[in-house]
Structure 1
Amino acid sequence: MLQYNILWLDANSSDPMSNFRSKLGDAQTFTDVKNCIQYVQSHPNESFYLIVSGSLAKEIVPVIYESSNLLQIFLFCGSVSTYVEWAMDYYDKIMIFDHGDDLLERLWNDLQNKLREQATLCLQGAEEYKKRAEEYKQRALQYKKPCG
């Protein structure tokens, strides 16, 4: 089963009094770009979403952008217009937000959709195995018929 991890890279991410931190909940937090890059590279089988402050985005995004386990980058900044032109090179994986609630709404919706897709595939697989089991049950019943 796939797991989706949330990474938050921000100088203030370790602040337990952060309002955004309390809303975000269970996320791996980083205050250092190198530690975050190391985490991404050392966990190639984990899919993740990255929330990154504008001040650190230009350092980390070019390094991890091509990572196959990177699902989406949420750039969280004070001014969207400051990063729009720079972010065009990463347009297929980056979204820019200047309000935490908007970012979290989009993140929760993306996670919901990913998990629903995964659940649908699991249910389809379960139905396939159920059909196979029924076929073997029918064959077993045919062999158990009395001779006569």
Structure 2
Amino acid sequence: MKNYIPLLLVSALSFAPNVNANNTIYVVANTTDSLIKLNRQQIRNLFMGGAIPYDLKAISLPPENQTRVLFNTKVVGLTEARIQSYWAQMRFTGRKVAPKEVDSEILALEYLKNNKGTIAYLSSTAEIPSNLTIILEIE
């Protein structure tokens, strides 16, 4: 039995997901300008209702989505609770509208493909069609 414990441990670890493999996020847009590049601050402004030099409509994933959690951490720099509080205040005062929310990355990709002038964040595992532009890669 003692001989099987190391073997089981090695087997279990070999099937464990690579934590770093899924930490890259792509910010992807459906835009006629395929050379468009935005920096992290511009992306943050766009998803938080701020002004940027392009007319793009932000698409967001649901709060429990792991890609959204990573995006909020790496780009927005706020917790989900703080972001929800911010948008509640903006809705209440009528100043800004939160990004459109879709239920999954598959639906976000479909929405992007079918709507010019939209932008979303996706995990590195998403297959980005050639007609969409990767605006920023976040590791």
TM-score, length basis structure 1: 0.30
* Greater helix share, structure number: 1
Structure showing greater Rg: 1
Structure with more contact order per residue of length (Cα contacts < 8 Å, sep ≥ 6): 2
